[in-house]
Amino acid sequence: MAEEDTQVIVGLEVHCQLDTKSKLFCGCSTDYRSDGPNTHVCPICLGLPGAMPALNKRAIEYAMKVAKALNCEIVNESEFSRKNYFYPDLDKAYQITQYDKPLAEGGYLEIEGDAGGEKKIRLTRIHVEEDPGRLVHMGNVERGKYSLVDYNRAGVPLIEIVSEPDMRSPKEARKFLNKLRATLEYLSVFDSEKEGSLRVDANISIKGHERVEVKNITSYKGVEKALTFEVTRQKNLIRRGQRIERETRHFLEGRGVTQSARSKEQEHDYRYFPEPDLRPLRVKSWVDGIVLPELPDARRERFMAQYGCSLNHARTLTGDLKLANFFEKVVASDPKGLAPLASTWIADTLIGELNYRDMGLDPVDPESVAALVRLLKAGTITDKSGVEVLRVMLDQRLKKEKTETPDAIVARLGLTRTTGDTGAIAAAIEEAIGENPKALEDYRNGEGKALNFLVGQVMKKTRGKADPAELNRMLTEALKKKEA
Ligand SMILES: [Zn+2]
């Protein structure tokens, strides 16, 4: 297959819960997750006869913030519509949403494209709607005896952000979502840690072939996985000369595969009509009053200018609001002095160690990381010991043990760099050479690898505490002597 025949085309529809205190059309609290089922409900969000919706001003303000941050055009007069369908999680048998007159149109979000550099992903529209309730299946969806309905979620404000089909790989889709999440969090309108606060429908096709919609993916990683599965599935069909059906599929998170939805589910006629209980939404006088905070791109540029971060480090650090705040706290006491080491130790080492432990940033305090960076900067410990200290710090927090300061860990484990303590290094060198006559011989025969091997042996004996430059110098001298 030629390259252009396998061009992947991805567009996303992202539903995000707006982090308001009350629901979109009533005063019920949106903070329902730790409460019993059907405890956050009232006649309005239950859709009882005669109940009238009243629009939540804060939700519209949040939606406009998002629209402005994503460079959309906010439409002065938008409209709510009823989307009619029957499903047990939809108590009213219609969802109040926006249809042909959404709040915002156009716009774009910049991501780091696969080809390198910034890439604009265009947006089609952003509209506001209410979340339906939740079905809780007893056992397997298909074979379980019954399902329970919880309307606590019914009426929680959502925005749906629809992108143009501008992404060219599952990886670009993941980057789009990460950037979107960061932007929403910088705006303080969204909490990505709340379970189910973001849901994605993904459209994916191979250029020249039919499009497939994968519905209701509920995790960030799930989107990339579902799309990767689809790319392989669709390319295999094409390779075998088979047709790709235009269809809706579900992503089975546990198995990492997509599965065709029964065709009936695809053929909806929603009979949209304007919501008679809500007036058109006019926002003109409001728009100019919407003030945006510093957003990820601006913060990334600032991190490079103010702290001298590399583009990659700045991108990583500002790609997550918590991490960006954390970094600034770590370097606060001495920005110029600490930033160069802190950016690589946080963006590379700390992130790596946290991911390895499947651990979040929350238990880690910036003061401790600042203390570790100071030890490294002063040359009190080597980089290798720094990693050891960091691991101890994280393990203590993960296991909820008593935590020690980095200085205390260094003292307890005796990790102070043995610079100047040439006696200890010299002894380790003699030992290493004595134990490895083959390496000595190889070195004499001009094999450069032998030197690296011996460096490793000495490092092991000094448990990583030896100053690397000093060790190298002393070892080379010792070997020269033996040659003579
Ligand atoms: Zn309610």
pTM of the predicted protein model: 0.86
Q: Express each pLDDT in 74-106 by its tens digit.
A: 999 999 999 999 999 999 999 999 999 999 999
Distance 293 CA to ligand 1 centre (A): 31
Strands 212-217 and 247-252, bridge-based pairing: parallel
Distance 152 CA to ligand 1 centre (A): 8
Give the DSSP H or E segment for 301: helix 296-307
Distance 83 CA to ligand 1 centre (A): 19
Nearest C-alpha neighbor of 171 from the set 119, 245, 247: 119
Residue 272 C-beta-side C-alpha neighbours within 13 Å: 9
Distance 49 CA to ligand 1 centre (A): 14
Distance 43 CA to ligand 1 centre (A): 6
Distance 381 CA to ligand 1 centre (A): 59
Q: What is d(CA 184, CA 56) in angstroms, rounded to the nearest whole number?
A: 19
Please determine, for residue 4, whether its predicted confidence score (pLDDT) is greater than 60.
no
- Helix, strand, or coil (residue 288): coil
Distance 17 CA to ligand 1 centre (A): 16
Distance 168 CA to ligand 1 centre (A): 41
Q: Express each pLDDT in 302-348 by its tens digit.
A: 999 999 999 999 999 999 999 999 999 999 999 999 999 999 999 99
Orientation angle between helical segments 296-307 and 311-318, nearest 10 degrees:
130
- For residues 354-358, give the mean pLDDT: 96
Residues 6+ apart with CB under 8 A from 278: 53, 55, 80, 96
Residues in the chain, overall count:
484
Distance 456 CA to ligand 1 centre (A): 66
Q: What is d(CA 30, CA 151) in angstroms, rounded to the nearest whole number?
A: 11
- For residues 231-242, give the mean pLDDT: 95
Distance 24 CA to ligand 1 centre (A): 9
Environment class of 213 (CB within 10 Å of its CB; exposed 0-12, middle 13-18, buried 19+): middle
Nearest C-alpha neighbor of 231 from the set 12, 4, 10, 14: 10
Residue appearing with tokens 């707006």: 18
Residue 482 C-beta-side C-alpha neighbours within 13 Å: 17
Distance 131 CA to ligand 1 centre (A): 12
Backbone angles phi, psi at 33, to 5 degrees: -65, -30
Residue 42 C-beta-side C-alpha neighbours within 13 Å: 16
